[in-house]
Structure 1
Amino acid sequence: MDQFLITGTGRISGEVTISGAKNAALPLLAAMILAETPTTLHNVPSLQDVTTLIKLISGMGIVISKEGNTVTCNTKTIDSFYAPYDLVKTMRASILVLGPLLARFGEAEVSLPGGCAIGSRPVDQHLQAFEAMGAEIIVENGYVKAKAPKGGKLIGCEYSFDMVTVGGTENVIMAAALAKGTTRLENCAREPEVVDLANMLVAMGAKIDGIGTANMTIEGVESLHGCEYSVVPDRIETGSYLAGALMTEGDVLTKHTRPELLLPVLKKFEAMGAVITTGEDWIRAQMKGRPLPVDIRTQPHPGFPTDMQAQLMAVCCLADGTSTIIENIFENRYMHVPELERMGANIKVDGHTAIVKGVEKFEAAPVMATDLRASMSLVMAAATAEGKSLIDRIYHIDRGYEDVENKLRGLGVKIERVSNKD
């Protein structure tokens, strides 16, 4: 099992090019199933989750391949509507093939998903919406078996999500694009990745109103065609590298990104004392002195994103004062706290609330990554600590950060991937 050996450098500074967003690329790959003609998708990051989903789609008989950061897909040879457990268990996004298969082919059998352990993320909202569209849903032996109503077409409906769900919104708008009639959805997720999917569906011939709002209306069409599209830049990767500047009195320029996707995070960075400057496709963070403490409350977009909570906590650990963090999205998203404490952090957790008293510096220590975003908080903490830190279970970071070692080296981080023989 690979590990990162990081020698603290004291300052994170330089330029880094941002990759396409993992959380956008995965639903866009699933949406390719809807197209009757070939689709080309650019700016697709080279990540383990992307590889897994391409393998899953290929297993259905679909011709799909990735060269560099471009994926091409032709669905004409599809001969299976089945997504097996051995692939789906490794990541939750696999459930996103359910909507496209059901909408276009009238049937699907998809394993209930696995993925990281940050908390319960049930798929009941997906299934209830499909049932509202007339589908017959049976869950047995760990699989969702779905069939469209007689005639093979889902039927447009009115549905309000009980809670804001990114995956549920994505799955249902893909299904509604080919449904018979009009679907009206309320309490939709508004994350940039949902907007990216809706825009790609429109490029494929879908009719969607209310993109980027909580209420969307989808008028079903007979068929969708392929298109050429580019994945939105990764706002979480952007924020993760910028956070390094705040922790080390650094100066980080992120390129090929979009500032408007990250406004809640940039506002917190400025409140912590960073000088933030932006252009159309770049963001620069410059920092002098220790960060100021802030209060953070994670919320669905356009609130502060839960995927940046661990990285901001790492910054707060070095702040000149006490910060309060309230995690409202996932119940298990403080698993990085004991690891940060091993590096000298002062954090007290009570339910959904974490009280972080800033310390002057991190201390090098062996730590273990517990989930994707937590892994990046530990990497940044190790980069600021004096001495050598060994980070275990870095397969988490490989799921969401493309070419992470080279990008960190470009920012002055002394990082080495080593193999654990045990």
Structure 2
Amino acid sequence: MNKKMIINGGRRLAGDVTIGGAKNSTVALIPATILADTPVRFDSVPDIADVYNLQIILNSMNVKSKFQHSILDVDPTEIKEAALPSTAIKSLRASYYFMGALLGRFGRATVTFPGGDNIGPRPIDQHIKGFKALGAEVHEENDTIYITTGINGLHGARIFLDMVSVGATINIILAAVKAPGQTIIENAAREPEIIDLATFLNNMGAKVRGAGTDVIRIEGVLELNSRATHTIIPDRIEAGTYLSLAAAVGDGIMIHNIIPEHLESFTSKMIEMGVDLQIDGDQIYVPKTTQITPISIKTSPYPGFATDLQQPITPVLMLADGESKILDTIYPKRVRHIVELRRLGADIASAVEGVITVNQSTNLVGSVVQAAEIRAGAALMIAGMMADGQTVIKAADHILRGYDRVVWKLTQLGADVEIIAEDN
């Protein structure tokens, strides 16, 4: 990590902001390209660090890619099996989607155990359970996962996930889409990003049915041929972050390129807080908010309140006249933003059982803080805008991993913010 974000806070923001393509779709779609038998093009690709890291991984396999002006072209037609670069793999958790994609393409995969955000345990046992059901053998040695299949390759299977897992659902889809026979995933995750992946694959000739429900059926196909540009869905987490920012420091902000249905659990909580959201088609206007009501939030798998949004909404709760509580049932240890918010003057704490308590904290003062991961960085970014004086967010590379052109967008709204290199 070598960048920091400097925010001169206390400014009210106004104007328009357009949401980019979904990060959590993008990081699954790019590994999926190696299953294609023709070049692939994506539109609405977010300009985030994860895209560039994924390009490095593609390049290591002789897969050419070009990214500019939100368009990403990927040509997997001359792909070669190769050791994947461990530095890029360790920089983002979603690199584990190459396990399923490589397994589907070559019938084997060797992947260094992925890195990414440190937000508590995120085991891959359900991924491995799925791969084994499809006919693979898996073993781990020295932080490297080796997945192989016998002479007959993969085959369809019925897989019941012991817990709802977005990552396992996606990885099993990637491995099964070219496997002969029918694969059924039960207790599958229902996130919009899974529907986006299935849409992309189906448009190339795959047969994935039931995405968006808890039972997904896949009939294996022999080849996948891209016929049109795939436009990535809007990022519901980025949208929720800007909605939070608008409620906290906005004097009227219009947020464009939103699918309101993807945000219903979040926007319902904002309305409960007293934020006058004006939803119109694919845009939401947030007028100046003068009073916030304390609420309780409990995260849960989609369509419940997203774990990725519990941190961005936290600074808004600091404006409420009373006590709010947050329980993250997905990642109970996702609390590393709390100590940093307290450096700014926030009255916030977490209990042993994982309940975060947020009290009114209207006199925030700028300080030096550190982003432990993407969404913690977003919470600090919003709090820094609320605080008087200058806030310096160290390890701001995390924010750049998840937020499309974030400095430009904030500046367009009137924020005084910049990203610079950290001092050595």
Range of TM-score over shorter length:
over 0.9
- Cα distance in 1 for partners of 2:332, 2:76 equals 39
Is the 2:248–2:289 Cα contact (8 Å) retained in structure 1?
no
Instruction: State how 1:153-302 maps to structure 2 within 5 Å.
Output: 154-227=154-227, 228-248=229-249, 250-302=251-303
Deviates more, 1:244-253 or 1:374-383: 244-253
- Cα distance in 2 for partners of 1:189, 1:68 equals 31
Query: Deviation of residue 204 (structure 1)?
Result: 1.2
- Cα distance in 1 for partners of 2:390, 2:108 equals 53
- Cα distance in 2 for partners of 1:229, 1:143 equals 32
- Cα distance in 1 for partners of 2:226, 2:145 equals 27
Q: 2:77 corresponds to which letter in structure 1?
A: K
- Cα distance in 2 for partners of 1:369, 1:135 equals 38
Q: Secondary structure of the equivalent of 1:82?
A: coil
Query: Deviation of residue 38 (structure 1)?
Result: 1.3
- Cα distance in 1 for partners of 2:308, 2:324 equals 18
Moved over 4 A (4+): none
Partner of 1:368: 370
Query: Deviation of residue 20 (structure 1)?
Result: 0.8
Q: 2:317 corresponds to which letter in structure 1?
A: C
Normalising by structure 1, report the TM-score. Answer: 0.96
Is the 2:42–2:232 Cα contact (8 Å) retained in structure 1?
yes
Is the 1:81–1:107 Cα contact (8 Å) retained in structure 2?
no
Is the 1:12–1:413 Cα contact (8 Å) retained in structure 2?
yes
Query: Deviation of residue 104 (structure 1)?
Result: 2.1
Partner of 2:382: 380
Partner of 2:7: 6
User: Are 2:374 and 1:334 equivalent residues in the alignment?
Assistant: no
Instruction: State how 1:15-54 maps to structure 2 within 5 Å.
Output: 15-54=16-55
- Cα distance in 1 for partners of 2:10, 2:378 equals 16
Query: Deviation of residue 50 (structure 1)?
Result: 0.8
Q: 2:338 corresponds to which letter in structure 1?
A: V
Query: Deviation of residue 123 (structure 1)?
Result: 1.4
- Cα distance in 2 for partners of 1:53, 1:311 equals 26
- Cα distance in 2 for partners of 1:418, 1:114 equals 24
- Cα distance in 1 for partners of 2:371, 2:309 equals 15
Normalising by structure 2, report the TM-score. Answer: 0.96
Deviates more, 1:181-190 or 1:221-230: 221-230
Q: Secondary structure of the equivalent of 1:196?
A: helix
Is the 1:238–1:257 Cα contact (8 Å) retained in structure 2?
yes
2:407 aligned residue (400, 405, 408): 405
Q: 1:193 corresponds to which letter in structure 2?
A: E
Is the 1:249–1:290 Cα contact (8 Å) retained in structure 2?
no
> Percent identical across equivalent pairs?
38
- Cα distance in 2 for partners of 1:33, 1:273 equals 46
Q: 1:399 corresponds to which letter in structure 2?
A: R
- Cα distance in 1 for partners of 2:263, 2:147 equals 37
2:396 aligned residue (394, 398, 402): 394
Query: Deviation of residue 203 (structure 1)?
Result: 0.7
Q: 1:93 corresponds to which letter in structure 2?
A: A
Query: Deviation of residue 291 (structure 1)?
Result: 1.2
- Cα distance in 2 for partners of 1:74, 1:5 equals 38
Is the 2:60–2:85 Cα contact (8 Å) retained in structure 1?
no
1:24-71 C-alpha deviation (Å, 9 max, x unpaired):
111111111111111111111121111011110111112222222111
Which consecutive residues of structure 2, in runs of 5 or more, have no partner in the other structure? none
- Cα distance in 1 for partners of 2:194, 2:376 equals 23
Partner of 2:313: 312
Deviates more, 1:81-90 or 1:327-336: 81-90
- Cα distance in 1 for partners of 2:263, 2:400 equals 22
- Cα distance in 2 for partners of 1:365, 1:409 equals 20
Query: Deviation of residue 350 (structure 1)?
Result: 0.7
- Cα distance in 2 for partners of 1:17, 1:249 equals 15
Q: 1:162 corresponds to which letter in structure 2?
A: D
- Cα distance in 2 for partners of 1:415, 1:104 equals 44
- Cα distance in 2 for partners of 1:364, 1:104 equals 50
Query: Deviation of residue 249 (structure 1)?
Result: 5.4
- Cα distance in 1 for partners of 2:420, 2:51 equals 24
Which consecutive residues of structure 1, in runs of 5 or more, have no partner in the other structure? none
1:293-325 C-alpha deviation (Å, 9 max, x unpaired):
110001110000010111111111121111010
Deviates more, 1:76-85 or 1:212-221: 76-85
Is the 1:9–1:414 Cα contact (8 Å) retained in structure 2?
no
Is the 2:34–2:79 Cα contact (8 Å) retained in structure 1?
no
- Cα distance in 1 for partners of 2:282, 2:107 equals 41
CA RMSD of aligned residues (A): 1.4
Query: Deviation of residue 81 (structure 1)?
Result: 4.6
